[in-house]
Amino acid sequence: MTRWVCPLIVGVGVCLLSPSRAQDPAKPAVPAAPAGPATIRDFEPFRSRWFAPGRPVEGVAPPDYVVNEKADPWNPYRQNVLKGDFPIRGTEDLFFSVTATNRLFMEKRNVPTGSGITGPGPVAQGFFGDGNQTFLQDDLSLSFDLFRGQQAFKPVDWRLRVTPVFNYTRLDVNEVGAVVIDPAQGTTRERGDITLQEAFIEYHLFDLSDRYDFMSVEAGVLPFRSDFRGFLFEDTNLGIRLFGNADQNKWQYNLALFDQLDKDTNSGLVRYEDREQNVFIANVYRQDWPVVGYTTSASFHFNRDRRAVEFDDNAFLIAPAPIGNFTPSKLDAYYVGWTGEGHFGRWNITHALYRAFGTESQNAIAARSTKIEARLAAVELSLDIDWWRPRVFALYASGDSDPRDGEAKGFDAIVDAPAFGGGGFSFWNTQGLKFVGTSLTNPGSPLADLQTSKTQGQANFVNPGVLLLGAAVDAELTPKWRGQVGFTYLRFDKTETLEFLLQAADIDKTIGLELFTGTQYRPFLTNNIILQFGGSVLFPDEGFARIYDSDELRYTVFANVLTTW
């Protein structure tokens, strides 16, 4: 006769079979196990959380099957000390991570390109010539990250990160004077660039609660995006950032001050030269408010720009803008904004609302001081239906109806790069369209702001503004393959600024209809290799055709290969 005794040991019920009387003499005795080396048994506590194959603790090494598998330098599924999975040997909380990333980008495009005034062949009759261009860019970045603290459970105690980047660009066009200002240098531009794109330290100041509500600080050349999609500021630059959270991570906040460094014209990478511009940003996020699943944010931005006379790396004048009276200008622009992202039930929403105000001492187009008063509104609404997501989106940036009245009502950002609408698949969002010494649009921005350069010029609030309306479908075709297709209808908010610069009357507000598509493929179900292909076609309408003296179809097709170790 036996009975079960089930004591509770450290929260785990362990059932022990115990005899209620002496051993039955009819049953043979069980011999004792021979003495030998200790073995690791199931449920035995580990001496260290880093107890893993190849990492013995106190002379005891676990067999391969106990904890994960042995590290492999080329297998992304295996743990490795160089990925920060294990601490540096001899420590329990000091980690080092190395990430190598190569981005190869190839693009074929047709954009309005000014006719060369000299060169082989007959003299061009029109102001715009052959718009076919080929662009190639390769960026190799090596990110070295040294930090202390087990960041999976709490903020790191401190972090030191440096990221050198090696860049190569090549641009081929069919018109002289487009790649560099000197027509004698032909129609091809090749450049190389090396820089320290990131170099910052992060330090954990203190905890606010036992739920790891904290406050930390970053200083150096660091990346920062000031809202969910990058409508106003997304950049890597020299600054200091105070950040943290509160109330069990329901609140997050940032205070950031940037002393903007200049950027290389062709690579877009940081160049360690002061550009006389300061940006201050304060924002706060509230999670699950007013409903669970939705995060709302309020922000304040200040852009103080004192850029003097400046030529870019291709010898084009970018500050002040080469129009009007060529006078350097002092800009003080303030922004208040409300943004949000999340879902209400099955509906996903992203929105942004900004008001810009301030002054500029000498706007190039207005040829006088101006008072800034401009608006931006954007919204994207989508619905998840199994493996596909239809979405609609709209963006409005106000325009200026009178370029010489001293009121600047055209909205402009600081350094924007919004992942919105067609995003990186959109012709309008990705191409820089030159216009009378300025740019109608700049790469990475949907705004028609007439800046000379988004990264090197000054913000300009005397501009036509823009309205974007569109729809798209995103599809998870397989776990490895996703795609999207969509369209955008584009028009200017106001055209008086364009008419003034071109000295032409009655320019229509219509820009055109854009169709875009793209796909992404991850052959190994990880982000170690990502292949992207996409393209966009712009069917010009009356306004765009009038500006560029042609209703020629404009397009871009590209391939982007991203490899990471």
Residues 81-100 have pLDDT tens digits of 888 888 887 788 899 999 99
Question: Domain range spanning residue 57?
Answer: 48-70+81-92
Q: How far is residue 57's CA from residue 533's CA, in Å, rounded to a whole number?
A: 48
Task: Give a yes or no: residue 540 inside a domain.
Answer: yes
**Percentage of the chain with pLDDT > 70?**
86
Asked, for residue 290, whether it belongs to a domain, the answer is yes
As given in the structure block, the two tokens for residue 560 are 């982007």
In a domain, 367, yes or no: yes
Greatest distance between any 2 Cα atoms in the chain: 115
C-alpha 457/C-alpha 262 separation (Å) is: 10
- The mean pLDDT value for 109-113 works out to 95
Claim to verify: residue 52 and residue 115 sit in the same structural domain: no
Over residues 364-391, the pLDDT tens digits come to 999 999 999 999 999 999 999 999 999 9
What pLDDT, on the 0 to 100 scale, is given for residue 41?
53
- The pLDDT of residue 51 is 67
Q: How far apart are CA 243 and CA 365, in angstroms?
A: 39
Average pLDDT for the chain: 88
pLDDT reported for residue 43: 57
Residue in 459, 374, 414 with CA at minimum distance from that of residue 281: 414
Residues 330, 379 within the same domain = yes
Question: Based on the domain organization, do 52 and 170 belong to the same domain?
Answer: no
Question: Is 40 within a domain?
Answer: no
Q: How many domains does the chain have?
A: 2
Summarised one tens digit per residue, pLDDT across range 323-373 is 877 889 999 999 999 999 999 999 999 999 999 999 999 999 999 999 999
pLDDT attached to residue 19: 39
Q: What is the per-residue pLDDT across 266-315, written as a single tens digit (0 to 9) for each? A: 999 999 999 999 999 999 999 999 999 999 999 999 999 999 888 999 88
205 vs 9, 155, 213, CA distance in Å? 40, 10, 11
Q: Residue 257 pLDDT more than 50? A: yes
24 lies in some domain: no
pLDDT, tens digit, 9 for 90 and up, residues 172-209: 999 988 888 888 888 999 999 999 999 999 999 999 98
In residues, how long is the chain?
565
Q: Kindly state whether residues 409 and 488 are assigned to the same domain.
A: yes
Structure confidence at residue 65 (pLDDT):
53
Is 90 exceeded by the pLDDT of residue 258? yes
Confidence at residue 392, expressed as pLDDT on a 0 to 100 scale: 98
pLDDT at 83: 87
pLDDT attached to residue 37: 44
Confirm if 372 and 449 have CB atoms less than 8 A apart: no
Burial 419-445 (b: 16+ CB within 10 A, else e): ebbbbbbbbbbbbbbbbbbbbbbbebb
pLDDT at 170 over 50: yes
